[in-house]
């Protein structure tokens, strides 16, 4: 019986499918007759059969209806009307009802307005009232929601709300089910009852429908065709105040962020989906409120903060942006998201959106916090006894019987009873954090404003008064004309930063200074040079001597953006964005005579170096955007153009020969002045377009195209085209899918392919330039000299990255579990590289486009789960994991370029292959290229071992709990990687175990494992005062070790005042909080911090406490 039914029913389904494709949405009453006979069949099976026979899908949200699809029923229908079938099936459930149109039936809890079985939509044969239905869509605080979709459920009849939130639908039956949806809000279904109503939408807690900012627009996670990760203010604020990029650490897949140092205003490197470029910049494209922002600062004199990326320039431009002003940070990764930025976004893009005002009562937000930072982990170094033993042994090994005149630690000059822990003395202080933020916001439905002000001060862990103070102001004003056609949006941020950093990072001194080295200060507070009786200095490397010099760096930064838009006809908007950035930095370094040892002062002179840096950029970006509903789909076209110019001006003045310390900022008091300056201009011009077609939120196609011209490239190659295609299929919207996987609430497959470019090579690289030679003394014959600075290459062109991405996004149990899987394969070619030249050509390199291809593949996983959500208690978990792989696919000039190799990562290093210490001779041995053991391998032919610092995988796990007013959030980050470990074989920066080096001679405890006599199975060669072949081990793979880690990166605890207390205190809100950063690190890595390998000051462990008040 069943089989007899099934065959026609298959045909039926096919027919209905074909039919529905051609005549989607027309009522087809003839298909709504059901024939099913079965005993004890699960309810779900009945629904399936109904679907097969009629094409009508039945939605039973079991957790709402509490009616299981597995419930067994016995039925006997022959050509029965579907309404009757449904009524029969639900006859035992008084609180259940169903609503129906020609494609869908939804089982719902009691719907008191309508009698059971009432046909709702487009049912002409029922007596209904037809009237125009109008209303207004607003959010929870009463602000209008423009652009919301108002649609009769499962029909194409619908409209979009105007900019004041209002809408009007003609010819609506009373009782019709209407669906209202808008980006960032919960969709709502209402039944038409009265003619005019105000409908309030609740903002989305579901992150699928949260607004996601993209290039020149916004979308949602649900509808996005590209790979964009988003971080909101709520997570950014969990960070103690610092560079906003650091808040992305561990929270966003595909992104590696490294802090160069634990000093304030430190460099921060960000790499999105791996390194695409061997030598040019790997910095992403930064955009703040639509205006491109610099990725690198201009050079300054003080490099103590560490560099951002490979440029070597200290600091990071985002240090001059107040992280409290940021509403969201979006990381754009694939071609679909970035191709519209053309030649600048091959390394991805980071979009920063600042906070905007919201309409409503004017409110004041105040956040105050204070905290402390310390070096989290000190190194284990030799104490005095071990140190002196090492030195004596080194002398004995070298057959030196009496310490030389300059062995101050052994010849009695220095007090060997001292045992100083220099780490404690030099980097053991506590850094203080103070932060205050006030903002005022509010507005009407037409105008909203926000004014924010911030103050932040940090100090350092070094001895001395080093600090960084920031004051900032942020303004945002939005206005819409009352006819909703004309819009103005202005946002501006200004920061003043007064940075007084140390002139060098003395962390290296802290770990290398001999434990018997004298006190840095004399009893009178002056620098102690520990002179001998004859008056000659012995303490050349007094770590505090150099810190006597003063470095101040004052920076002002203005970022601003004005957008003016006008809606010409409904759906067609013309707008233009005007951006202006201006960053001015003034750095002064004063080098005092007291910072050099007395004997040298006769050759030394007081000097002041003034760096005056000015970066400004202007941008005009006119756009036309056209939106239209087209055949059940939304059609969106954007055409725009960019005209921009960046000016970099730097002047460096060195003034020397001041007669005293007091006048060192007065150029007129200098005997000698010299200077240099850079004035470079970068012009950029583009035409771009985007076309998106979204068919029923089911199929989405997104096309981007851009034509770019840039002044950075040679006259022969200045223009280039970029483009991408992105498609998404939200398969969970397909009728058949809902039935197959009822627990799957969301399913999307997306893919994109396209090209982007990288033009980060600096200005004027294609010109053959001569520059004046800087002379601080006397000009040669009183005339200026010129020196050649570059070789010419008029064919310079962009690097190109072709990006392929595939993504799968799944939501389960009403999106309580969201899973994303992303695969990317980015291939970068046309590499801009300094082609290594022998110096015999006059230069070590020339910048050329190489046909090299670098491939970055990566798997990104994210899992967001709402584990518990009740009124009082909630627990959510976010997990992300990235498995990257970098590989050089092809390279034509490998022989001339020793640092890379086909098939290997571009970060690889070639090293000698370490083979241990020979137990007979005590000498380090290596395997040479032929496999023989040698203690004298030749460079480079025997560098056969290849290592790379690339992470194997990395990610983060964030858990958030909240119970009533309490909330607890902690983030673990993890990474599997290798890194250079500078300690296992002694401090290898030319300080070999046993050498004295003017007191820069201490060593880690691990060097005690050294060879002393024949047969010793030791790790280190014998101590020696001269180093000999020790440098070879530093060029071998011996010093590379596992640097994997798990880190409790961030903990945030807060407590919100209960409502009734708030009322008593007349506060809208009061929250106390604690934020902690870098709390615990679990690792085998020997040096300070595996996240910032090396021997610079590591990122600090910071704890802050604060209060947030809303008035």
Partner 1 sequence: MVQKINYRIKRQIGTKILLPICVLSVLLTSCKKLIEVNTPTTSISGENVFTNDGTAISLLTGIYTQISSGSLLYGDFISVGLLTGLSGDELTLDIGSKGQPLNDFYINKLTSNTGNNLWYNIYPKIFVVNSAIEKLPNATSLTAGVKRQLLGEAKFMRAFFYFYLVNLYGDIPLVLSTDYTVNSVRPRTPKAEVWSQIIADLKDAKELLTTDYLDATLLGISPERVRPNKWAATALLARSYLYTQDWINAEAQATEVINHTALFHLDSLNNVFQKNNPEAIWQLQPVNYGSNTEDAKTYIIHSDGFSLSKPVYLSENLVNSFEINDQRKISWTNTITISGNSYAFPSKYKSDSLNAPLTEYNTVLRLAEQFLIRSEAKAEQKNIQGSLDDLNTIRKRAWLKKYEIGTSLDLSKIIYQERRVELFNEWGHRWLDLKRSKTVNSVMGIVTPQKGGTWSPNWQLYPIPPSDILANKNIIQNPGY
Write out 890-920 in H/E/C secondary structure.
Answer: ECCCHHHCCCCCCCCCCCCEEEEEEEEECCC
Is residue 229 within 8 A of residue 242, CB to CB? The reply is: no
Residue of 978, 979, 1004, 973 lying closest to 1081 (CA atoms): 973
Instruction: Report yes or no: 653 and 610 within 8 Å, Cβ to Cβ.
Output: yes
- Contact set for partner 1, span 23-52 (CB under 8 A): none
Nearer to partner 1, 18 or 779 (CB): 779
- The interface mask with partner 1, positions 868-897, x = CB under 8 A, is ---------------------------xx-
Site string for partner 1, 895-924 (x = CB under 8 A): xx-x--------------------------
Which residue's CB is nearer to partner 1, number 254 or number 518? 518
Helix (H, G, I), strand (E, B) or coil at 281: coil
* Closest by Cα among 843, 1012, 1032, 997 to 926: 1032
* Nearest in space to 515 (alpha carbons), one of 424, 422, 423: 422
Q: Which is nearer to partner 1, 525 or 842 (CB)?
A: 842
Residue from 25, 184, 571, 622 touching partner 1 (CB under 8 A): that is 622
- Listing DSSP states for 475-518 in one string gives EEEEEE-TTS-EEEEEEEEEEEEEEE--SS-THHHHHHB-TTPP
Sole residue written with tokens 């980071």? 350
Q: Is 568 in the site for partner 1 (CB under 8 A)?
A: yes
Cα 792 to Cα 798: distance, rounded to the nearest angstrom: 16
Residue with Cβ nearer partner 1 (892 or 938): 938
* Residue span 580-619 as binding mask against partner 1, x where in contact by CB under 8 A, dash where not: -----------------xxxx-xxxx--------------
Comparing C-alpha atoms, which of 168, 157, 162 is closest to residue 182?
Answer: 162
Give the binding range for partner 1 (CB under 8 A) out of 734-742, 882-890, 988-996, 1053-1061: 988-996
Per rule CB under 8 A, is residue 775 in the interface with partner 1? yes
The answer to whether 81 and 54 have CB atoms below 8 angstroms apart is no
Give the full edge-to-edge strand order of the sheet including 96-100. 57-60, 104-109, 96-100
76 vs 899 by CB, closer to partner 1: 899
Residue choice 990, 1064, 1065, 1067 for contact with partner 1 (CB under 8 A): 990
Angle at CA of residue 91, ends 89 and 94, nearest 5°? 125
Instruction: Give me the sign of the Cα torsion angle 813, 327, 215, 708.
Output: negative
**Which of 458/648 has CB closer to partner 1?**
648
**What residues are paired with 87 via a beta bridge?**
none
Question: Site for partner 1 (CB under 8 A): which residue of 69, 432, 576, 1110?
Answer: 576
Phi, psi at residue 708, to the nearest 5°? -120, 145
CB of 716 to partner 1, least distance (A): 12
Task: Give me the sheet containing 196-200, strands edge to edge.
Answer: 166-173, 130-138, 196-200
Stretch touching partner 1 by CB under 8 A, among 59-67, 500-508, 762-770, 1098-1106: 762-770
**Phi, psi (degrees; rounded to nearest 5) at 396:** -60, -40
Nearest distance, CB of residue 614 and partner 1, angstroms:
14
Distance CA 248, CA 564 (A): 31
Nearer to partner 1, 26 or 679 (CB): 679
Site for partner 1 in 109-148 (CB under 8 A): none
Residues 453-492 that bind partner 1 (CB under 8 A): 481-483, 485-486
526 binding partner 1? (CB under 8 A): no
Cβ of residue 748: shortest distance to partner 1, in angstroms?
Answer: 34
Q: Under rule CB under 8 A, which residues in 314-333 are in contact with partner 1?
A: none
Q: Rule CB under 8 A: is residue 773 a binding residue for partner 1?
A: yes
Output 675 or 916, the one with its CB closest to partner 1: 675
Q: 829-848: which residues touch partner 1 (CB under 8 A)?
A: 836-844, 846
Q: Is the dihedral of CA 664, 668, 673, 674 positive or negative?
A: positive
316, 656, 702, 826: which one contacts partner 1 (CB under 8 A)? Answer: 656
Pairing of strands 924-927, 831-836: unpaired
Per-residue x/- marks for partner 1, 527-546, CB under 8 A?
Answer: -----x-xxxx--x------
**Residue of 564, 663, 1046, 1074 interacting with partner 1 (CB under 8 A):** 564
Using CB under 8 A as the binding rule, whether residue 673 contacts partner 1 is answered as no
Contact string 699-738 vs partner 1 (x = CB under 8 A): --------x-xxx------xx-------------------
Interaction pattern, residues 340-379, with partner 1; x per rule: CB under 8 A: ----------------------------------------
Selected binder of partner 1 within 556, 641, 907, 1110 (CB under 8 A): 641
- Using CB under 8 A as the binding rule, whether residue 797 contacts partner 1 is answered as no
Is residue 781 a contact residue for partner 1 (CB under 8 A)? yes
Residue appearing with tokens 């091959």: 346
- Size of residue set near partner 1 by CB under 8 A: 110
- Judged by CB under 8 A, the residue of 388, 637, 769, 1008 near partner 1 is 769
Minimum CB–partner distance for residue 517 and partner 1 (Å): 16
Residue 791 interacts with partner 1 (CB under 8 A)?
A: yes
Q: Using the rule CB under 8 A, give the single segment among 570-578, 803-811, 911-919, 1053-1061 that binds partner 1.
A: 570-578
**What is the spatial distance between Cα 91 and Cα 368, in angstroms, rounded to a whole number?**
61
- The CA distance from 157 to 178, in Å, is 10
Q: Which of residues 157-196 bind partner 1 (CB under 8 A)?
A: none
Per DSSP, which regions of 82-123 are E strands? 96-100, 104-109
Coil, strand or helix at 875? strand
Candidates 33, 116, 174, 683; binder of partner 1 (CB under 8 A) is: 683
Q: How far apart are CA 1003 and CA 648, in angstroms?
A: 44
Question: Which CB, 17 or 667, lies closer to partner 1?
Answer: 667
In our burial notation (b when 16+ CB lie closer than 10 A, e otherwise), range 531-560 reads: eeeeeebbbbbbbbbbbbbbbebebbbbbb
Among 19, 88, 496, 566, binds partner 1 (CB under 8 A): 566
Q: How far apart are CA 764 and CA 574, in angstroms?
A: 35
Q: For the CB of residue 901, give the shortest distance to partner 1 in the complex, in Å.
A: 13
Cβ-based nearer residue to partner 1, 442 or 1027 = 1027
Q: Which C-beta is closer to partner 1: that of 362 or that of 677? A: 677
**Which of 805, 706, 729, 953 has its CA nearest to residue 227?**
805
Report yes or no: 670 and 655 within 8 Å, Cβ to Cβ: yes
Listed ranges 2-10, 111-119, 133-141, 1022-1030: which one lies at the site for partner 1 (CB under 8 A): 1022-1030
User: 840's torsion region: left (phi>0), alpha (psi -120 to 50) or beta?
Assistant: alpha
Tell me the C-alpha distance between 537 and 998, whole Å.
10
Q: Restricting to residues 928-947, which ones interact with partner 1 according to CB under 8 A?
A: 938-940
Report in angstroms how near the CB of residue 496 gets to partner 1 at its nearest: 28
Token couple for 262 = 């634990």
Main-chain phi, psi angles of 133, to 5 degrees: -110, 125
In the complex, minimum distance from the CB of residue 532 to partner 1, in angstroms, rounded to a whole number: 8
Spatial distance between the Cα atoms of 996 and 1027, rounded to a whole number of angstroms: 10
Q: Is residue 795 part of the contact set for partner 1 (CB under 8 A)?
A: no
* Contact positions with partner 1 (CB under 8 A) in 395-434: 404-406
Backbone angles phi, psi at 1083, to 5 degrees: -160, 160
Q: Judged by CB under 8 A, does residue 779 bind partner 1? A: yes
Tell which one of 93, 546, 635, 682 touches partner 1 (CB under 8 A).
682
DSSP letter for 790, please: -
């Amino acid at each position: 019986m069943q089989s007899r039914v099934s065959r026609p029913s298959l045909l039926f389904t096919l027919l209905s499918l074909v039919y529905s494709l051609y005549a989607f949405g027309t009522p087809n009453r003839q298909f709504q007759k059901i024939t099913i006979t079965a005993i004890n069949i699960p309810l779900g099976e009945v629904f399936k059969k109904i679907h097969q026979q009629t094409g009508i899908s039945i939605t039973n949200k079991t957790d709402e209806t509490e009616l299981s699809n597995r419930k067994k029923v016995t039925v006997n229908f022959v050509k029965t009307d579907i309404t009757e079938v449904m009524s029969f099936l639900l006859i035992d459930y008084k609180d259940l009802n169903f609503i129906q149109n020609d494609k869908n039936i939804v089982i719902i809890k009691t719907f008191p307005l309508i009698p059971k079985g009432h046909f709702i939509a487009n049912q002409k044969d029922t007596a209904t009232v037809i009237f125009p239905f109008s209303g207004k869509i607003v959010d929870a605080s009463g602000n209008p929601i423009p652009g919301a979709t108002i649609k009769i459920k499962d029909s194409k009849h619908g409209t979009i709300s105007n900019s004041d939130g209002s809408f009007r639908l003609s010819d609506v039956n009373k009782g019709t089910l209407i669906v209202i949806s808008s980006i960032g809000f919960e969709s709502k279904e209402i039944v038409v009852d009265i003619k005019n109503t105000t409908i309030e939408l609740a903002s989305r807690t579901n992150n699928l429908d949260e607004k996601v900012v993209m290039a020149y627009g916004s979308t949602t996670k649900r509808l996005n065709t590209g790979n964009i990760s988003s971080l909101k203010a709520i997570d950014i604020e969990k960070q103690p105040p610092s560079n906003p990029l650091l808040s992305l650490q561990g929270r966003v897949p595909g992104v590696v962020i490294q802090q160069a140092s634990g000093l304030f205003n430190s460099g921060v490197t960000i790499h999105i989906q791996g390194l695409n470029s061997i030598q040019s910049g790997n910095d992403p494209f930064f955009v703040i409120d639509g205006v491109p922002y610099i990725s690198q600062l201009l050079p300054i004199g003080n490099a103590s903060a560490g560099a951002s990326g490979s440029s070597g320039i200290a600091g990071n431009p985002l240090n001059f942006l107040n992280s409290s002003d940021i509403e969201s940070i979006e990381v754009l990764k694939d071609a679909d998201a970035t191709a519209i930025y053309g030649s600048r976004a091959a390394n991805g893009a980071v979009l920063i959106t600042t906070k905007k005002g919201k309409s409503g009562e004017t409110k004041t937000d105040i956040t105050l916090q204070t905290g402390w930072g310390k070096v989290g982990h000190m190194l284990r170094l030799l104490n005095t006894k071990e140190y002196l033993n090492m030195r004596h042994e080194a002398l004995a090994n070298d057959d030196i019987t009496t310490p030389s005149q300059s062995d101050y630690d052994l010849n009695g000059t220095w007090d060997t009873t001292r045992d100083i822990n220099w780490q404690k003395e030099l980097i053991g202080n506590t850094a203080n954090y103070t932060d205050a933020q006030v903002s005022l916001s509010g507005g009407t439905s037409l105008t909203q404003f926000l004014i924010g002000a911030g103050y932040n001060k940090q100090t350092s862990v070094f001895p001395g008064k080093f600090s960084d103070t920031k004051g900032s102001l942020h303004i945002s004003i939005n206005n819409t004309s009352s006819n909703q056609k004309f819009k103005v949006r202005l946002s501006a941020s200004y920061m003043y930063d007064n940075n007084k950093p140390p002139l060098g990072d003395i962390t290296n001194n802290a770990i290398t200074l001999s434990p018997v080295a004298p006190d840095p200060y004399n009893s009178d507070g002056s620098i102690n040079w520990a002179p001998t009786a004859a008056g000659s200095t012995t303490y050349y490397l007094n770590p505090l001597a150099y810190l006597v010099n003063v470095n101040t760096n004052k920076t002002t930064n203005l970022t601003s953006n004005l957008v003016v838009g006008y809606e010409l006809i409904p759906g067609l908007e013309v707008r233009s964005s005007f951006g202006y950035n201006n960053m001015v930095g003034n750095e002064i370094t004063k080098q005092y005579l007291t910072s050099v040892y007395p004997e040298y002062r006769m050759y030394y002179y007081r000097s002041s170096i003034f760096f005056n840096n000015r970066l400004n950029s202007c941008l005009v970006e006119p756009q036309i955007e056209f939106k239209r509903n087209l055949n059940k789909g939304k059609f969106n076209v954007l055409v725009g153009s960019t005209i921009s110019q960046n000016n970099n001006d730097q002047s460096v003045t060195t003034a020397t020969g001041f007669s005293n310390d007091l006048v060192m900022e007065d150029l007129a008091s200098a005997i000698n002045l010299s200077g240099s300056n850079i004035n470079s201009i970068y012009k950029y011009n583009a035409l771009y377009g985007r076309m998106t077609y979204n068919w029923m939120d089911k199929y989405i196609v997104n096309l981007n195209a851009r034509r770019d011209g840039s002044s950075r490239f040679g006259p022969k190659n200045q223009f280039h085209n970029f483009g991408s295609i992105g498609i998404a299929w939200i398969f969970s919207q397909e009728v058949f899918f809902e039935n197959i996987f009822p627990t799957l609430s969301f399913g999307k497959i997306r893919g994109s392919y396209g090209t982007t470019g990288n033009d980060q090579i600096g200005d004027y690289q294609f010109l053959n330039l001569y520059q004046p030679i800087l002379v601080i003394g006397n000009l040669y014959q009183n005339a200026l000299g010129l020196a050649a600075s570059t070789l010419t290459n008029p064919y310079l062109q962009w690097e190109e990255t072709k990006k392929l991405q595939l993504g799968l996004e799944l939501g389960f149990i009403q999106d309580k579990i969201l899973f994303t899987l992303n695969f990317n394969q980015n291939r970068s070619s046309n590499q801009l590289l300094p082609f290594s030249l022998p110096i015999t050509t006059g230069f070590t390199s020339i910048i050329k486009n190489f046909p090299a291809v670098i491939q970055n593949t990566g798997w990104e996983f994210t899992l967001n789960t709402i584990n518990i959500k009740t009124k009082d208690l909630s627990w959510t978990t976010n997990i992300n994991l990235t498995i990257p792989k970098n590989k050089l696919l092809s390279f034509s000039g490998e022989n001339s370029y020793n640092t890379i190799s086909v098939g290997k990562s571009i970060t690889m290093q070639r090293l000698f292959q370490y083979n241990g210490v020979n137990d007979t001779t005590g000498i380090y041995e290596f395997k040479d290229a032929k496999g023989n053991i040698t203690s004298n391998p030749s460079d480079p032919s025997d560098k056969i071992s290849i290592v790379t610092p690339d992470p194997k995988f990395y990610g983060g796990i964030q858990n958030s709990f909240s119970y009533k007013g309490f909330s607890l959030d902690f983030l673990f980050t993890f990474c599997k990687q290798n890194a250079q470990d500078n300690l296992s074989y002694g401090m290898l920066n030319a300080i070999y175990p046993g050498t004295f080096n003017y007191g820069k001679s201490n060593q880690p405890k691990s060097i005690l494992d050294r060879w002393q006599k024949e047969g010793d199975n030791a790790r280190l060669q014998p101590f020696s005062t001269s180093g000999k072949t020790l440098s070879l081990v530093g060029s071998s793979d011996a010093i590379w070790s596992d640097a994997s880690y798990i880190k409790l990166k961030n903990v945030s605890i807060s407590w919100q005042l209960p409502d009734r207390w708030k009322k008593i205190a007349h506060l809208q809100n009061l929250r106390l909080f604690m934020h902690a950063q870098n709390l615990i690190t679990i690792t085998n890595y020997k040096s300070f911090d595996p996240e910032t390998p090396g021997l610079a000051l590591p990122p600090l462990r910071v704890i802050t406490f604060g209060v947030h008040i809303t008035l």
